[in-house]
Chains A and B, each alone.
Chain A
Amino acid sequence: MKVDNKVDEICELPTPKRDTELRQVWRHLRRNRLAMIGLGVLLVFLLCAIFAPLLTGYDPIKIDLGNAFKLPSTENLLGTDWQGRDVFTRILYGSRISLAIGLISVTIGMLIGVPIGALSGYYGGRFDLFIQRIIDILIAFPGILLAIVVVTVLGVGVENVMIAVGIASVPIYTRLVRGSVLAVKEQGYIAAAKALGIGDFRIIMRHIMPNCLGPIIVQSTFQIATAILWAAGLGFLGLGAQPPDPEWGAMLSKGREYIRTAHHLTTYPGLAILFMVLGFNLIGDGLRDALDPRSRKHK
């Protein structure tokens, strides 16, 4: 028991250092103007998603045919659509769908991809070979295509899009984590931990994974952007959210019919997708610089 305690103490030593590291990252990030713009954009979307009912008096689903095709005005900030629904309201509520798809699908991808990658990298050998060949096959498909295949099998709908996009991002995480694990596991302190008789599980969780966190966080930020784009693409193709859900891709697709007479039905959902994806990409760029100790020192 005593030995175990000591080991725990040793393991927890880096904790205070991590705190200061977090602070360093934040300090660095704060100086990055583009990343801050990205963060601001995302915060706006997040607030819109959470407080949508407070920001608008309209219902995103309820139709009002008498008010269809209204151009943007003080009454309907971004106009109304073919069923007389307020476009601004639908975009607000749509940010809920997009953020949810982004976050949940990335979580799914991470939950599956990270452990597989870690085990594959840590154990190596035949197991690694087997897993990596499967990943090769998955990577051979463009992600959106893989997602379309999965949706076709599971059926259309927001939930299935989350799963599909999640599965499509598994190979990315597996590769990323395997690479990091391969680099870390050769370090002296891992050999030391092994020599102390610490179990594989603990070594992976306590000593290897923390060192892979940086790349995972950065990749996740980009991956959320990609997931949102893929989901909008699936919605555009009619494979994602189904009517009457105010999903941006679906709004864009349907709005195209009226692009010659009521362009606001495509312009604004398009801009919403653009800004959200841009936001995640900017913050991802910033995080990548901030989490890399070398680039921190350079500046």
Chain B
Amino acid sequence: MKKYLVLLLVSIFAIGLLVGGCGPAEDVVDEVDDVTDELEDVVDGGQDLVIAIGAEPENLDPLKMMSAPAATVAEHMVETLIYLAVDGSLEPALAESWEPTEDGLAWDLMLREGVSFHDGSPFNAEAVKLNLDRFMGKGDFEGEAAVYAFLLSEVDEVEVVDEYLVRLHLNQEFAPIAAHLSHSFIGMHSPASLEALDAGQYVEAPVGTGAFKYAAWDRGEQIVMEKNEDYWGGAPELDTVTFKFVPEASSRVIMLETGEAHAIMAVPPTDIERLNDLEDIDVVFENSVRVIYMGFNMEDEKFEDVRVRQALNYAIDKEAIIATTFQGVGEPSSAPIVPAVFGYTKVGPYEYNPEMAMELLAEAGYADGFDIELFHPTGRYSQDATVTEAIQAMLAEVGINATLTTYDWGTYLDTVIVPPEQAEHDVYMLGWGTVTLDADYGLYALFHSSQWPPANNVSYYANADVDALLEEARVTPDRAVREALYSEAIELIWNDAPWIFLHNEGQVNAVRSNVKGLIHHPLENILAWDASIE
């Protein structure tokens, strides 16, 4: 059929030349070029990449973004000041360099020149200030701050020094500031696009500086982005990138095999071996910075007693879940953060010991067990529903009868990340990727008592000692001292057991072999700006 399309286009071109007569020579050359491009597209099937992922971004507004799917999609359109590379190093993105002032109470960001947003407006210091102010809910944007505003909680003021120099004034020294600025949620949007929003309205079609421009978002289906010809880093080879949202892992695999998708995330463990044997498909293993856990609602009287929380940790056979449900990919959690993160200390895992679990429950006065409401997502994390089912059965062994409830990802987040008085759940499943590779992000956000919902301390955990350690660690410049402080905090958190610590995820993606240059990021992103289809 393509043959006929080419013939048709060629004849239309020929007729066009005839009818148009003799125009200026350059025009004709341009026209020929255009048509040749089109013909090439038709012949090679175009550079239209399709990636199937499990969950849809809950939002693409920096104020409302909360998950890796949102980050993955957004990073193609909207860039950050600093980029955290696959190897964990911080690389220049929209900021070319960054350094602290002598007293450490301010940071200077030298911005990249000659960058413009998709709407044509220039990227400069004013744009940075506006974006950061909006994220923090300061200055002209007094009021609503981003859910992840804690990333910049130590930033007092953003000063525009000159067109390409921004100075961040800090309340006190803040060690992880550069890492925090690399967070995908602190993306730079066109000021005009943000100012056009009414109060209570959020970004739906991001206008950034990225390699791809927003094209369309069919809710529940897909997001389509098209090539940014004027990208400062050089236009990408791909014409379009489409993220399709397919919660069911087996459907993603079938899409990959039939060629409907070029790449998929979270390959079901039972399919790894089979896909590996296929010639035109490559299975990609990559580490992840994500821990998966079952958090307790600590405002629930059942979970007030630390013995109950520890008991439930002893009741779960993490090794068996890894071995069977994940076919050996991943490992039981040995701390609330993964080993790759700065500040990690090995304190676990809790061994599998149902007898000990029952003893502890009996000591706490729950010899006969109790009923719980357990909420979990389906399709967001690898094997989430299957893991939950296994946990339900293991809890039953120690007398705890769990009723499961699941929602689609967006609804799920809205249901569990709520203040205590609105919580319907006793236990909830979530994961957390420490995407700055610094313990501050993994611990402060999840265990500091100032971070209860709408932020991410969903267990309502509050321990004054932990608070003090985390506060001190984030303002101490000395890495060795910080490490010691985090080690102490991790020990306390581990023994307090606000979660059932489950496992560190391993990432398994799969790609068709004719796709080159995809970046599989430990932050659980697939990035396509350097990709091409052969």
Q: Residues on A close to B: CB < 8 A?
A: 61-63, 65-66, 68-69, 82-84, 238, 242-244, 254, 256-262
Whether the Cβ atoms of A63 and B393 lie closer than 8 Å is yes
> What 0/1 readout, one digit per residue, does chain B (303-315) give for beta carbons within 8 Å of chain A?
0000000000000
For residue B250, which residues in chain A have a CB less than 8 angstroms away from its CB? 256-260
* Residue B491 lies at the interface, judged by CB distance under 8 Å to chain A: no
Given A256-B250, A257-B250, A243–B270 Cβ distance below 8 Å?
no
For the complex of A and B, list the 10 residue pairs with the smallest distance between their C-beta atoms, beginning with the closest: A65-B320, A63-B393, A65-B324, A257-B250, A68-B324, A243-B389, A261-B270, A258-B270, A243-B404, A83-B390
Q: Considering the chains assembled together, what is the distance between the CA atoms of A258 and B254 in angstroms? A: 12
For residue A66, which residues in chain B have a CB less than 8 angstroms away from its CB? 320, 323-324
> What 0/1 readout, one digit per residue, does chain B (230-253) give for beta carbons within 8 Å of chain A?
000000000000000000111001
Q: Residues on B close to A: CB < 8 A?
A: 248-250, 253, 268, 270-271, 274, 317, 320-321, 323-325, 385-386, 388-390, 392-394, 396-397, 403-404, 406
Most buried by B among A238, A257, A258: A257
> In the complex, how many residue pairs between chain A and chain B have their CB atoms under 8 Å apart?
64
Whether the Cβ atoms of B406 and A238 lie closer than 8 Å is yes
Please tell me which one of the listed residues B270, B393, B397, B403 contacts residue A242 in the complex, with CB atoms under 8 A apart: B403
For residue B320, which residues in chain A have a CB less than 8 angstroms away from its CB? 65-66
For residue A261, which residues in chain B have a CB less than 8 angstroms away from its CB? 270-271, 274
Most buried by A among B253, B268, B394: B268
For residue A242, which residues in chain B have a CB less than 8 angstroms away from its CB? 403-404
Given contacts A82-B270, A257-B250, 8 further A-B contacts (CB under 8 A): A61-B396, A62-B397, A63-B389, A65-B321, A66-B320, A68-B325, A82-B324, A261-B271
Please tell me which one of the listed residues A65, A254, A256 contacts residue B317 in the complex, with CB atoms under 8 A apart: A65
For residue B271, which residues in chain A have a CB less than 8 angstroms away from its CB? 260-261
Q: Considering the chains assembled together, what is the distance between the CA atoms of A62 and B323 in angstroms? A: 18
Q: How far is the CB of B354 from chain A (nearest CB, A)?
A: 13
Q: With CB as the reference atom, state the residue of chain A lying closest to B323.
A: A65
Given A65-B320, A68-B324, A82–B386 Cβ distance below 8 Å?
yes
Whether the Cβ atoms of A83 and B389 lie closer than 8 Å is yes
Q: How far is the CB of B268 from chain A (nearest CB, A)?
A: 6
Q: Considering the chains assembled together, what is the distance between the CA atoms of A158 and B522 in angstroms? A: 41
Whether the Cβ atoms of B321 and A262 lie closer than 8 Å is no
Q: How far is the CB of B411 from chain A (nearest CB, A)?
A: 13
Please tell me which one of the listed residues A65, A69, A243, A260 contacts residue B392 in the complex, with CB atoms under 8 A apart: A243
Whether the Cβ atoms of B324 and A62 lie closer than 8 Å is no
Given A259-B250, A260-B250, A244–B389 Cβ distance below 8 Å?
yes
Q: With CB as the reference atom, state the residue of chain B lying closest to A59.
A: B393
Q: Considering the chains assembled together, what is the distance between the CA atoms of A26 and B385 in angstroms? A: 49
Given A257-B250, A260-B253, A261-B271, A65–B325 Cβ distance below 8 Å?
yes
Please tell me which one of the listed residues B248, B274, B317, B404 contacts residue A257 in the complex, with CB atoms under 8 A apart: B248
Q: Is the interface of B mostly helix, strand, loop or mixed?
A: helix
Q: How far is the CB of B466 from chain A (nearest CB, A)?
A: 34
Whether the Cβ atoms of A260 and B389 lie closer than 8 Å is no
Return 30 A-B CB contacts under 8 Å, by A number. A62-B393, A63-B390, A63-B394, A65-B321, A65-B324, A65-B325, A66-B323, A69-B324, A82-B324, A82-B325, A82-B386, A83-B389, A83-B390, A238-B406, A242-B404, A243-B385, A243-B389, A244-B392, A254-B385, A257-B248, A257-B268, A258-B250, A258-B268, A258-B270, A259-B250, A260-B271, A260-B274, A261-B270, A261-B271, A262-B270
Most buried by B among A65, A66, A83: A65
Q: How far is the CB of A191 from chain B (nearest CB, A)?
A: 58
Q: How far is the CB of A122 from chain B (nearest CB, A)?
A: 45
Please tell me which one of the listed residues B317, B325, B393, B406 contacts residue A244 in the complex, with CB atoms under 8 A apart: B393
For residue B404, which residues in chain A have a CB less than 8 angstroms away from its CB? 242-243
Given A242-B404, A261-B270, A84–B324 Cβ distance below 8 Å?
yes
For residue B403, which residues in chain A have a CB less than 8 angstroms away from its CB? 242
Q: How far is the CB of B332 from chain A (nearest CB, A)?
A: 13
Q: How far is the CB of B273 from chain A (nearest CB, A)?
A: 8
For residue B253, which residues in chain A have a CB less than 8 angstroms away from its CB? 260
Q: How far is the CB of B164 from chain A (nearest CB, A)?
A: 52
Q: Considering the chains assembled together, what is the distance between the CA atoms of A69 and B386 in angstroms? A: 13
Given A257-B249, A260-B271, A261-B274, A61–B324 Cβ distance below 8 Å?
no
Q: With CB as the reference atom, state the residue of chain B lying closest to A63.
A: B393
For residue A68, which residues in chain B have a CB less than 8 angstroms away from its CB? 324-325
Q: With CB as the reference atom, state the residue of chain A lying closest to B391.
A: A63
For residue A83, which residues in chain B have a CB less than 8 angstroms away from its CB? 386, 389-390, 393
Q: How far is the CB of B173 from chain A (nearest CB, A)?
A: 48
For residue A84, which residues in chain B have a CB less than 8 angstroms away from its CB? 324
Q: How far is the CB of A160 from chain B (nearest CB, A)?
A: 13
Q: Considering the chains assembled together, what is the distance between the CA atoms of A82 and B327 in angstroms? A: 11
Q: Considering the chains assembled together, what is the distance between the CA atoms of A242 and B320 in angstroms? A: 23
Q: Considering the chains assembled together, what is the distance between the CA atoms of A65 and B390 in angstroms? A: 8
Q: Considering the chains assembled together, what is the distance between the CA atoms of A220 and B276 in angstroms? A: 51
For residue B270, which residues in chain A have a CB less than 8 angstroms away from its CB? 69, 82, 257-258, 261-262
For residue A260, which residues in chain B have a CB less than 8 angstroms away from its CB? 250, 253, 271, 274
Q: With CB as the reference atom, state the residue of chain B lying closest to A259.
A: B250
For residue B321, which residues in chain A have a CB less than 8 angstroms away from its CB? 65
For residue B397, which residues in chain A have a CB less than 8 angstroms away from its CB? 62
Q: How far is the CB of A147 from chain B (nearest CB, A)?
A: 20
For residue B325, which residues in chain A have a CB less than 8 angstroms away from its CB? 65, 68, 82
Q: With CB as the reference atom, state the residue of chain B lying closest to A253.
A: B248
Q: Considering the chains assembled together, what is the distance between the CA atoms of A261 and B394 in angstroms? A: 25
Q: Considering the chains assembled together, what is the distance between the CA atoms of A243 and B394 in angstroms? A: 13
Q: Considering the chains assembled together, what is the distance between the CA atoms of A259 and B321 in angstroms? A: 20
For residue B385, which residues in chain A have a CB less than 8 angstroms away from its CB? 243, 254
Whether the Cβ atoms of B393 and A61 lie closer than 8 Å is yes
Q: How far is the CB of B529 from chain A (nearest CB, A)?
A: 32
Q: With CB as the reference atom, state the residue of chain B lying closest to A156.
A: B405
Q: Considering the chains assembled together, what is the distance between the CA atoms of A156 and B392 in angstroms? A: 18
Q: Considering the chains assembled together, what is the distance between the CA atoms of A238 and B405 in angstroms? A: 10
For residue B268, which residues in chain A have a CB less than 8 angstroms away from its CB? 257-258
Most buried by B among A66, A260, A262: A260
